[in-house]
Amino acid sequence: MPVRSGLRFPPPCRCGCGPGQARGSGTVRPYPGIVIDRCWNIVGTNAAAAALTAGLPQDLLGPPANVYRLSLHPDGLAGRTLNFEEWAGYLLHQLRRTIALAGDPALQELHEEVRGYPGVTTAAAAWNTPHGNASLLVPLELETPGGQRLSMFTTLTTFGTPLDVTLAELAVELFYPADAASADLLRTAGVGSVA
């Protein structure tokens, strides 16, 4: 249980963690990484993650940019997502699960908003229909401007010993290549040409 009330970043932290440090971290390079708050607003990114959203409208990029809006809005990554129905269904399921656990009214409002985006309700219905998918995870499959397919899976990490409420409400989402071709693309394409 965190013992301090919410501080503004950067907080004094003995381990040097916080959005600024996560944003500049080369530990996952060349893979995309973002720092998110409890409402999935992006508070930090690395260069590879910023490249994934290059060319998107400024109103979606924020501040604050929100993972669900960026992923599901028709002017966001939805148009670049090759497996949109599967990905959107998964995201909506994840958002509903988070709402059930947290009971946060801001997340409920976000859910209502993104459900109104084109194709999202259909995707949610398809997700709830048994489809016999034996996969262990749902990849995010994007088409790059060069027409290449980029397939990634994500991991979420939270801080296990936060002493501050602000740090306790942060998570780091890292995007890893789901196949060898995507690993090669992320490694060799250069950050500016990934997305």
pLDDT reported for residue 184: 93
- CB contact at 8 A, 40 and 68: yes
pLDDT reported for residue 26: 46
pLDDT > 70: percent of the chain: 75
List, for residues 119-163, the tens digit of each pLDDT value.
998 887 877 665 555 567 889 999 987 789 999 999 999 887 777
What residue segments make up the domains of the chain, in order of their start?
19-78+136-193
Percentage helix, strand, coil for the chain under 3-state DSSP, each rounded to 5: 40, 20, 40
List, for residues 9-58, the tens digit of each pLDDT value.
444 333 344 444 444 444 567 899 999 998 999 999 998 898 888 889 99
Alpha carbons 72 and 93: distance in angstroms, whole number: 13
Concatenate the DSSP letters of all residues of 43-75 into one string: EEE-HHHHHHTTTS-HHHH-SSEEHHHHHHSTT
Beta bridge partners of 34: 45, 173
Burial class (CB in 10 A: 0-12, 13-18, 19+), 109: exposed
pTM for the full model?
A: 0.81
CATH 3.30.450 fits 19-78+136-193, yes or no: yes
